[in-house]
């Protein structure tokens, strides 16, 4: 636990990769180096993306590979390091699909991600945009994009179709002590849910009482109904015990220090009532983020992976400055 803040502070591995490649022993050594450096820096744990594989890859094989990865971390002296996971659904694994067989596939996929979260982090959190498939924008029969009122109406039956999937998924996750925290993501990245209120509405419509929301500072700045509504949604999530995770991220998803983060919301509305971990989340200009997020800014060079660049911040520099900024703003 971070002594200054009295809570865990995690760092997102989106700085380094979108795929841990658990079957790659050589890359595991690179991950271990990053983990040790950042742990020494003061981070308590890490958020890692669980990359989707083709439907032909058995989920049990995926889980077994992450079991091996966790063992490698433990053998490297990282047994006390905690992990949360970032998970998204896909066009193939779509819990909102109108087709029952596809929803069953999605449920199996999401259960495997719960298992991986448990393997890596134990009693932990699985976060991310895992209701509607990330980045899959719907089209009409004539290939016209669907937006605004038409998109909101189109989503209604999709939410309804996902209900049974999430009822079973929440029960499965609860039995494994994994919290599910759905993250709303801005509309230029993905269709709804794009706002905290939409996630809470979906969860309130389920019979299962568990299931929570992730609040990401970048998302609420770029896709929000405003500060007053955000305050109401924070209070609503706290009342229902659904605020599971808070991501500290700049609007451009770059360096946290001296960025346009609504620190007053964090300090005044979230910090007094929230008891979970904070996640420092920086998306580096690496594939696939450089193209999917249209990044024009230069990459933060990654020690051990990229050649050093004089007079330019490394990934470690940015991580250290972000932790210092969080401590100063919140302590």
Give residue-wise pLDDT tens across range 130-150: 999 999 999 999 999 999 999
pTM over 0.85: yes
pLDDT of 4: 76
Give me the mean pLDDT over the 266-272 stretch: 92
Cis peptide preceding 288, ω within 30 of 0: yes
Q: What is the pLDDT of residues 230-250, one digit of tens each?
A: 999 999 999 999 999 999 999
Average pLDDT, the chain: 96
209-236 average pLDDT score: 91
Q: pLDDT-derived band of residue 69, with 50, 70 and 90 as boundaries?
A: very high
* Mean pLDDT to the nearest integer, 94-117: 98
**237 contacts 243 by C-beta, under 8 angstroms:** yes
In this prediction, residue 227 has a pLDDT band, given cuts at 50, 70 and 90, of confident
pLDDT of amino acid 115: 98
Q: Does residue 10 have a pLDDT over 90? A: yes
- Tens-digit pLDDT profile for residues 171-207: 999 999 999 999 999 999 999 999 999 999 999 999 9
- Asked if pLDDT for residue 3 goes beyond 80, the answer is no
Give the span between the Cα atoms of 160 and 163, in whole angstroms. 5
Q: In the chain, count H helices and then E strands.
A: 10, 8
Question: DSSP for 147-199?
Answer: -HHHHHHHHHHHHHHHHHHHHHHHHHHHHTTEEEEE----TTTSSS--SHHHH
Tokens standing for residue 197: 């209120």
Of 18-22, 221-225, 271-275, least confident by mean pLDDT is 221-225
pLDDT of residue 331: 78
Predicted confidence band of residue 1 (pLDDT cuts 50, 70, 90): confident
Q: Above pLDDT 90, what percent of the chain?
A: 92
Task: Express each pLDDT in 278-313 by its tens digit.
Answer: 999 999 999 999 998 889 999 999 999 999 999 999
Whether residue 314 has pLDDT greater than 80: yes
């Amino acid at each position: 636990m971070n002594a200054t803040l009295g809570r865990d502070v995690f760092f997102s591995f989106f700085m380094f990769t979108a795929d841990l490649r658990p079957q790659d022993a050589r890359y595991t050594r690179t991950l271990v180096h990053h983990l040790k450096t950042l742990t020494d820096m003061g981070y308590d744990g890490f958020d890692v993306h669980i990359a989707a594989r083709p439907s032909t890859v058995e989920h049990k094989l995926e889980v077994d590979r992450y079991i091996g990865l966790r063992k490698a971390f433990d053998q490297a002296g990282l047994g006390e390091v905690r992990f949360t996971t970032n998970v998204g659904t896909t066009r193939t694994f779509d819990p909102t699909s109108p087709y029952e067989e596809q929803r069953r596939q999605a449920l199996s996929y999401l259960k495997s991600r719960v298992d991986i979260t448990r393997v890596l982090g134990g009693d932990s959190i699985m976060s991310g945009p895992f209701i509607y498939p990330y980045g899959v924008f719907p089209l009409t029969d004539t290939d016209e994009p669907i937006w605004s009122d038409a998109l909101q109406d189109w989503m209604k039956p999709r939410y309804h179709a996902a209900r049974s999937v999430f009822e079973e998924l929440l029960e499965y996750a609860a039995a494994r002590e994994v919290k599910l925290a759905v993250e709303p993501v801005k509309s230029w990245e993905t269709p709804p849910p794009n706002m905290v209120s939409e996630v809470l509405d979906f969860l309130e419509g389920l019979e299962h009482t568990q299931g929570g929301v992730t609040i990401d500072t970048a998302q609420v700045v770029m896709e929000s109904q405003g500060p007053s509504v955000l305050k109401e949604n924070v209070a609503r999530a706290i009342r229902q015990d659904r605020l599971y995770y808070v991501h500290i991220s700049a609007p451009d998803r770059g360096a946290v220090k001296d960025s346009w983060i609504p620190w007053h919301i964090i300090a005044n509305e979230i910090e007094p009532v929230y008891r979970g971990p904070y996640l420092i989340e920086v998306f580096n200009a690496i594939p696939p983020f450089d193209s999917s997020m249209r990044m024009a800014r230069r990459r933060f060079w990654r020690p051990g992976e990229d050649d050093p660049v004089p007079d330019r911040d490394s990934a470690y520099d940015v991580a250290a400055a972000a932790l210092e900024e969080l401590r100063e703003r919140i302590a």
